[in-house]
Amino acid sequence: MTTTLVDTLSMETLREQLNRFLDEQPEDDDNLMDFGLTSIAVMQLVSEWKEMGVAVSFTELATEPTLSGMWKLLQAKSASRG
Q: CATH code at 43? A: 1.10.1200.10
Average pLDDT of span 8-24: 90
Q: Evaluate if residue 6 carries a pLDDT over 70.
A: no
Q: Calculate the alpha carbon distances from 23 to 30, 34, 60 in Å.
A: 13, 9, 23
Look at the chain and report how many structural domains it folds into.
Answer: 1
Could you give the percent of the chain with pLDDT greater than 70?
88
Q: Calculate the alpha carbon distances from 33 to 10, 46, 56, 82 in Å.
A: 21, 16, 18, 31
Q: Considering the domain boundaries, does residue 3 fall inside one?
A: no
pLDDT tens-place string over residues 48-76: 999 888 889 999 999 999 999 999 999 99
For 39, the domain range is: 9-81
